[in-house]
Chains A and B, each alone.
Chain A
Amino acid sequence: MSTAFYWSIAGTAAGLVLVGLWGILTRKHILRIALAFTLADTGVNLLLVWSGYLPGRTAPIVDGTISASGITSAVVDPLPQAMVLTSIVIGVAVAALFVVVGVLASRRTGSADVRRMKELRW
């Protein structure tokens, strides 16, 4: 995998995060905000996987192709891959809860516009 590709993944991830943040701040519809969150979350997860990637190495699965003795120099860092699984699962849970809360809140206020949910302030 080329260095260009390596950095383009980082770029894409950062781009996703920025687009997500922009969406969170500018959208008014609560489900769009949820979507923006998911985008940013995906970007962060991509970044997490990227952080463990080491150019020129293979997947961290011990099978016939790599020997157990040389494993530490042959595979990419497995830890971020483990972490990203956790992160994705948590992300899904949060997104689901967010959508539920958002839908119920919009039923309550009669509008999915977050600008109308500011009875509590100051």
Chain B
Amino acid sequence: MVVALAVFLPLLGAFISVWLSRRKPRLSVIVSRLFLAGGLHSTIVLSIKLNAWSFSDLGNSIILRTGVGAPPLSINLEATGGAVIAAIVVYVAAILGISRLTSRNVKTLPLLLSLVTASLGLLFATDLFNSFVFLEIGSIITIGLTAACRCRRRWEVAVKVALVSGLVTILYLLAIVVIYKTTGELRFEALGMLHGFPALLVSGLMLTVIMTEIKAFPLSGWGLDFYEGASPGFAGVYSATWSLAVLMWSAGILPRLPIPNLQILAWIGAGGLVLGQFAGFRATSPGRMMGYSSAAYASILLILAGTTTGHDYLQLTLVLMIFAAIAKFTVFMLADPENENPLKSAAGNLLLLPILVIAGIPPLPVFWAKFKLLSILAGVSPLMLAAVVLGLFLEAVYLLRLWSKRPVRFLKNGRLVPAVTSLLMAAGAIWLTAGFWRSLSFSGSLLSSSTLRILFMTVFGAGTLLTLPGAWNRIKGERSYWFWMLLSGISLTFLPMAGNGITFYILWEVSAFAAVIAVSRGSRAAAGTFWFAVFAAASGFLLLASIVLSRSMFIAPGIPLILVAIAALFKLGQMGAHLWSVRAYSAAPATMSAFMAGTSSKAAVFLLVVAALGTGAVAMPAGSVLAWAGVLTALSMAVMAALSSDYKKVLAYASVSQMGYILIGLGLASVMGWTAAIYHTFHHFLFKMILFLGAAGVIFRTGTSDYNRLGGLIRRMPLTFTFTLISVIAFAGVPPLAGFGGKWFLYNGLIETGWLPIALIAMFASVVAFLYAFRLLHAVFLGQLSTVNARVKEAPLALLVPQGILTAALMLFSFRPTLFLEHIVPAIESLPGLKGVAPVINGTIVTTPLGNWNAWAVGMMVMGLFGFAFVFYWLSGKRPKHVGQLDIGFAGELPPSAEEVHYAGNFFKPYRRALAFLPRIHAGKVFSGITEVFKIAGDSVRAIFTGDARTYLAHSLIFLVIVLIYLRGGI
């Protein structure tokens, strides 16, 4: 009875609303809502009866018998747990979508209600002919509702949908004839009774029908055109009602197809996923991107049907399909109906959640299903896993582009619906995460050394806390980002506590995508966010692939380790990946840059350390490759930093360059090398945070990060200058401050291992580091004060206090490095697999085979000498003469621009000229080359979607012929 109510209440409502909508349009909307609410209530009652919410016995069912007798004589509706949950989604989408769909044309109301009935009928159908009836009703309503909007291209879409569903009808009826003729039955079970030629024919026909209906690549052409051309309101309702029902129905049929080896479905799906998403990569219209994303989910359904069975299959299909449907519905509901180009004015914030849900970012619901699917695929075939990961990555790229390129204009009305669905998705995330909670582990067992664990946690935690106060000092154009920074920081802080791969991955991704959001809220964010998001997604998927390939271990040796190394290099911005970091650091809100460069970049160091230790292969895959990558990056980025004239860009390049030294240290795989790496990791955190927080203060007060518009700020911002000066000395690597120690250990390690060429290049790079460090001080703080900045104030306390704390720590560890080393060195010594000798700590003296380092004595001597020189200078009575910034003679000519006469402009011009003979490898060109290849691949794939409806029909028929030939084993 409840089943009947659930299915047929909307139909009754439809009949009433046909009559009512002409007379009392408003009343008819209310009455329709009541009917839908009644139906929703019935489905919820059903779901509770079936105990469907535990997601554990989705196969339970209640059967509604119609007509006389038992099957096969009667027609039945069977409400299984999974179908009931999907039905609830259908109802919710219909109730939420009703006002949007009927706002212009209330006569569409009966169609919407009938669509709900058709969807539920299809979800609960148990025999093939019944399904046929519901499929036809659904197609007719789809055509009707497509044509009922006021979109310009509605007729074209309607014609295409009509043509394709006509063909599907014919093929489906042919399959029914064969099945009935052979078995005398039409229940789904009849499919299993087929043998020989009928089985082959039915498999081919049904597979073509299903793939066309669910819009799986390559039969997705009509679906793409539909999502692009239909009104966003209807496309949204369609995706969460009819499309969802068809997917769930197909999920019921696919495993029953009489194909000897169902794995072929997975291969069709995996191939379709990669090719389809290459094409999707090229999509420009938001609706079309959603269409390609639908095709991705259809392919995933095929993969699931080919690789999983039973309980896993039910659970995974349900979670993937319902949450993707809700997310897609939300995206479409955000679209502006007045706008030809549907999503152009979508609400940015509300848009993000559904996009991340579809892309499968943890801990959102779809992620859990994708993670499980990938784990299963890792056991089936690495090639299939690679294809799926690549496909999912491409999908994430265009979804992120959809999000990052949107103009920030909010949809005026109708934010309620997306808000409600967002709540549903969030609830789903919490529900599923709670369900999977036991598979997470926070034992910290990934890194055996508790000292190192505490060190990394300190870096992450302190970095977050110290940058947080500055997040309230926003410059014009920046939107509030402290929450996302805090979220990113918290998940980073817990990263060292992760006890298994999935926990690590979740914390890693949450931290990365929270950072992406924070960066997107900067004033110049448009340029940086997209590339940041792409690299974050790339390193995330590489990490995910290597985790699922490693099974029970965290990271297994071999391919997984290589994938992780690449992921870490991306994250560190090495080997050309500085493309994202330089753009993101300079685009991000100022304090966020400090957080990213100083704190979150260390997550990649942590990953490398953990992966190297966990695999037992402390000798990283060709450690020398790592070291060479590090040293070349260190040098080239130092040169870039010296030649750049933007405060934040210089720091960004410098930051990437410094990460290179850490890589060299790790690549050495000796105690000395690792000591250098860990030492540098910690101290780089200290001085890079100071530098970026100083930059944040300067930018906050002056509003610019351009060297040509700064200068002379020492008089206005003396404290910021002092802190910056100290950290510049520290990272330039001159004694007595901390940077020296890192370099000393590094050169020790390099000489010990005998990597002299690397040592030489590293030394040269640190000379270049001195150049940009000096230029930074000179351009920003020294020289003449610009008149524009004549009245700026010292940086706010929220930035100064953290800098003070960090500087104090820096000074402490500079003069007494043994305080730090006496904990770290034994911890590194105890790590398994590291070769070479350890530095010996004796009081304040550190001894290595190459000599002694007494930081305290050296520090005191240097301070004494500087003090003596300063006193001498003071007593000499000579004082500098102050001149204005533009007080420069120009030999009778008029200078072309004020910047030409600014001493900071083109500061290292001679070096630029001197280096001109070197071949220039632009990372930007490399990556745009890769993008170009992807584009060409995408264009050649999508060329098959010609737009001519008959091509789509031909696709289905050609596919049918190929499948039949394949199943027959040849012609």
Contacts and interface: CB of A to CB of B under 8 A. Distances in A.
Interface of A: 17, 20-21, 24-25, 30, 33, 37, 40-41, 44-45, 47-48, 50-52, 77, 79-80, 83, 86-87, 90-91, 93-94, 97-98, 101-102, 104-105, 108-109, 114-115, 117-122
A14 to B, nearest CB: 9
A38 to B, nearest CB: 9
A4 B132 CA distance: 31
Q: Which 3 A-B pairs have the closest CB atoms?
A: A121-B947, A118-B947, A105-B155
28 contacts: A17-B170, A20-B170, A24-B950, A25-B957, A37-B166, A41-B169, A41-B170, A44-B170, A44-B174, A79-B180, A83-B129, A94-B140, A94-B162, A97-B140, A98-B166, A101-B162, A102-B159, A102-B162, A105-B156, A108-B156, A115-B948, A117-B156, A117-B159, A118-B946, A119-B156, A120-B156, A120-B160, A122-B282
B957 A21 contact: yes
Interface in B306-333: none
Given A21-B957, A24-B950, A115-B948, A48 B140 contact: no
B177 A119 contact: no
Given A87-B173, A114-B949, A122 B159 contact: no
Contacts of A25: 950, 953-954, 957
A101 B177 contact: no
Contacts of B136: 90, 93-94
B159 A101 contact: yes
Contacts of A47: 173-174, 177
A105 B947 contact: no
B229 interface: yes
Given A41-B170, A104-B147, A51 B180 contact: yes
B912 to A, nearest CB: 44
B170 A48 contact: no
Majority DSSP secondary structure for residues of A touching B: helix
Contacts of A48: 173, 176-177
Contact of A120 (B157, B950, B953): B157
A104 B167 CA distance: 21
A118 B229 CA distance: 11
Contacts of A30: 159
A101 B167 contact: no
Contact of A24 (B159, B163, B177): B163
Interface in B143-178: 143-144, 147, 153, 155-160, 162-163, 165-167, 169-170, 173-174, 176-177
B168 to A, nearest CB: 11
B419 interface: no
A122 B943 contact: yes
Contact of B158 (A41, A105, A114): A105
B225 interface: yes
Contact of A122 (B169, B174, B177, B945): B945
A120 B228 contact: yes
Interface of B: 129, 132-133, 136, 139-140, 143-144, 147, 153, 155-160, 162-163, 165-167, 169-170, 173-174, 176-177, 180-181, 184, 224-225, 228-229, 279, 282-283, 942-943, 945-950, 953-954, 957
Nearest to B946: A121
A45 B942 CA distance: 36
Main secondary structure of the interface of B (DSSP, over half): helix
Contacts of B948: 114-115, 117-118, 121
Nearest to A13: B177
B949 A117 contact: yes
B174 A120 contact: no
A97 B945 contact: no
Contacts of B159: 30, 101-102, 105, 114, 117
B953 A24 contact: yes
Contacts of B224: 120
A20 B170 CA distance: 10
Contact of A17 (B156, B174, B945): B174
A121 B155 contact: no
A94 B139 contact: yes
Nearest to A28: B950
Contact of B155 (A40, A50, A83, A101): A101
B946 A101 contact: no
Given A90-B133, A97-B140, A117-B949, A33 B163 contact: yes
Contacts of A102: 159, 162
Contacts of A93: 136, 140
Given A51-B180, A97-B144, A120-B228, A104 B174 contact: no
B167 A24 contact: yes
A63 to B, nearest CB: 21
A75 to B, nearest CB: 15
B804 to A, nearest CB: 58
Contacts of B170: 17, 20-21, 37, 40-41, 44
A97 B142 CA distance: 11
Given A83-B176, A93-B136, 19 more contacts: A25-B957, A37-B170, A40-B170, A41-B170, A44-B170, A44-B177, A51-B180, A77-B184, A86-B133, A91-B169, A94-B140, A98-B166, A114-B948, A118-B946, A118-B948, A118-B949, A119-B153, A120-B153, A120-B157
B181 A97 contact: no
B294 to A, nearest CB: 15
Contacts of B177: 44, 47-48, 50-51
Nearest to A30: B159
Contact of A121 (B163, B166, B945, B953): B945
A104 to B, nearest CB: 6
A52 B184 CA distance: 9
Nearest to B228: A120
A50 to B, nearest CB: 8
Contacts of B160: 117, 120
